[in-house]
Structure 1
Amino acid sequence: MKNIEIIGCGMAKAGKVVSNDDLSKIVETNDEWISTRTGIRNRRFCTEDEDAYTLAFDAADNAIEDAGIDKADIGCLICATISGEYITPSMACVIQKRLGLREDIPVLDVNAACSGFIYAIEVARGLLNGNGEKYGLVIGCEQLSKLLDMTDRSTCVLFGDGAGAAIVKLTEGGLYESFLGARGGYEITVEGAGPVRSKISMEGQEVFKFATFAIPKCVNALFEKSKLTIEDVDQIVCHQANERIIDHCVRKMKADPSKFYKNMDKYGNTSAASVPMALCELKQMGKVQAGSKVMLVGFGGGLTWAGVLLRLGDRS
């Protein structure tokens, strides 16, 4: 199989900023309790004029512009999400129509929760190798605010809305390694279709233990497969669930903290959107660019984990 590289990134921030102090007026909590346990100080919720679909569209449109390609050249569209308004049509199909993409390409959603964007990267690689197309659009998008139980202070303070997207390009050779898996579990759940709106439920301690197992597992597996070391990689972009999780793993691996970007203080946990949003910010700040080696690591409901090690490519 040919490898892929990311040649364009885009993101969309929901319009309403919700601080820890704002939440303290709704549920029994405070800024110190939230920030010391999670590193989260703000998150963003969709306004009345926004939803998961508008965020996904904007992020995708920005990624296409950043990559410098024509929409007609996109050969597949994969959307990672757990918060689409419909079971069917998929969010990917809705975005395909809104973007005006071709009708003769594979278009589908992936549900791997917070690992979803990385799963979608791997799916896009397989589809492009199969259909002979050159470019794929991969989106991670969530509107988790509509799934929150605002009486549960252990979960309602964690999540936010956002979207990130990437244009991937099939390439000969290059750097690409992946490591994905799942163990099966109900530690994080959102109930299926029914007469009552579903809400997020989570066993926090079990998720923390799983996350601090999954990150080093992915990182070490990718280094072993690639024969690279952490010194060879420009950034390791982990799912932005909790600052304490990432810091714990950095200490456990005796790694350089500067290699691990964190932005959950601004956006909270945006599930499948968190990795592409963080990657996009890194690129906007000039911390990664064409030629940079980047590792993406996710963990989430399922319980799933996923990691890819790849290179950022040039604008086409």
Structure 2
Amino acid sequence: MSDVRILGTGAYVPDRVVLNDEVGAAAGVDDAWITRKTGIRQRRYAAPGQATSDLAAEAARAALEAAGITADQLSVIVVATSTPDRPQPPTAAYVQQRLGAAAAAAFDVNAVCSGSVFALSAAEGVLARRGGHALVIGADIYSRILDPTDRKTVILFGDGAGALVLGPAQSGPRIRHSALHTFGEMSHLIEVPAGGSRRPLDPAGLHEGQQYFAMIGREVRRFVNDHLPQLAKQFLHEAGVIPDDIRHFVPHQANGILLQEVFDKMALPHATMHQTLADHANTGAASIPLTLDAAARQGAFNPGELILIAGFGGGMAAGLALVEW
């Protein structure tokens, strides 16, 4: 019997490389300070004419090629992003058009940096009813919503996209378990204050910088350290595995120092943590599929090995998935 499997992965980052000294200049920090605080050396920025859907479509094409299927075989396209091309229509509609995937339903998911895990769960649900193949994409262009003078945020982010193709197969990587969590009482910790129905973006808001991404960094760090290890422990118990069984850990690429803190608390004695943030920084919803693709293409995963995927970010939200490669 066939099961829904991960048939292929793909990723795309823009051409422009932005080094720490360049991004830190307006914020009053240098390469040494950024590297020490974050583990990030560089990131990629989208070109002026590139939108989130352009990055998403490039990653999608790479994933489709790896999966060996064509766009007209897709039943659904789910794009996880918090930096859409426009407030509406969904960015996924533009991706559908660019790929020529006319038969695919297309919609967006916004769970900020956890978005790709939420999108993966949504796509699985659609395939359970509709069948066929799904394209799951995480894509963000954070360079467009960062205050260049805010050293707490501007140093952390880059632009990119990552994608997965799901479909029926008798062998290959499969998603064994997933769990989604939202802590709405902490939603103020990460936000873009203006540009929605609560506060439309007007000249006064622009003057105040309300169009920029804002984060209460210390509280976000506390949230991740306090919640993610415990959620992961509960998740693995529900999935029927023990920490010793995990061979790989693919987290959202938030901050290298934070990731090491969390990984130590996870107590996964036989796991390798995979990171791409040194070269790509925090790419939002793209970071998990981008990192998964990088590790897969490097041959890091062996058949049967268990991979723990952990997304966390605005909402505040956390998404976990267990993949058997």
Q: Same fold (TM over 0.5)?
A: yes
- Corresponding residue number in structure 2 for 1:69: 69
- TM-fit CA distance, 1:179: 1.3
Return 254-263 or 297-306, whichever deviates more: 254-263
Contact 1:163/1:277 (<8 A) preserved: yes
Partner of 1:284: 297
Task: Please give the residue correspondences for 1:180-259 in structure 2 after superposition, counting only pairs within 5 Å.
Answer: 180-184=180-184, 185-190=187-192, 191-193=194-196, 194-195=201-202, 196=206, 198-256=211-269, 259=272
Q: Does structure 2 conserve the Cα–Cα contact (< 8 Å) formed by 1:18 and 1:42?
A: yes
Q: How does 1:166-185 map to 2 (within 5 A)?
A: 166-170=164-168, 176-184=176-184, 185=187
Q: Give how far 1:223 is off.
A: 1.3
Is the 8 Å Cα contact of residues 139 and 163 (structure 1) preserved in structure 2? Answer: yes
- 3-state SS, counterpart of residue 8 of structure 1: strand
Q: 2:273 aligns with which of 242, 254, 260?
A: 260
Q: How many residues align?
A: 309
Residues 219-228 or 73-82, more deviating:
219-228
Give the C-alpha shift of residue 225 in structure 1: 1.4
Unaligned runs of 5+ in 1: none
- Deviations 1:85-129 (Å, cap 9, x if unpaired)? 2111111010001100023x3210000000000000000011111
Q: Using the aligned pairs only, state the percent identity.
A: 32
> In 1, Cα distance between the equivalents of 2:3 and 2:142?
32
SS at match of 1:186: helix
In the alignment, residue 189 of structure 1 is paired with which amino acid?
A: E
Are the equivalent residues in 1 in contact too, given 2:246–2:271 (CA < 8 A)?
no
The answer as to whether partners of 1:215 and 1:298 remain within 8 angstroms in 2 is no
CA distance in 2, matches of 1:304, 1:163: 20
Structure 2 counterparts to residues 94-105 of structure 1, below 5 A = 94-103=94-103, 105=104
**In the alignment, structure 1 residue 116 sits paired with structure 2 residue 122:** no
Verify the 8 A CA contact 1:283 1:289 in the aligned structure 2.
no
Q: What are the within-5 Å matches in structure 2 for residues 289-304 of structure 1?
A: 291-304=304-317
RMSD, aligned α-carbons: 2.0
- TM-score w.r.t. length of structure 1: 0.92
Q: Is the 8 A contact 1:83 1:142 kept in 2?
A: yes
| Structure 2 letter corresponding to 1:192 | G
CA contact (8 A) 2:24 2:151 kept: no
Distance 1:170 1:222 in 2: 25
Unaligned runs of 5+ residues in structure 2 are none
The 2-side partners of 1:51 and 1:101 are apart by: 19
Q: 1:295 to 1:170 in 2, by over 3 A?
A: farther
CA contact (8 A) 1:56 1:95 kept: yes
User: Which segment is superposed worse, 156-165 or 176-185?
Assistant: 176-185
Q: Under a length normalisation based on structure 2, what TM-score does the superposition of the two structures give?
A: 0.89
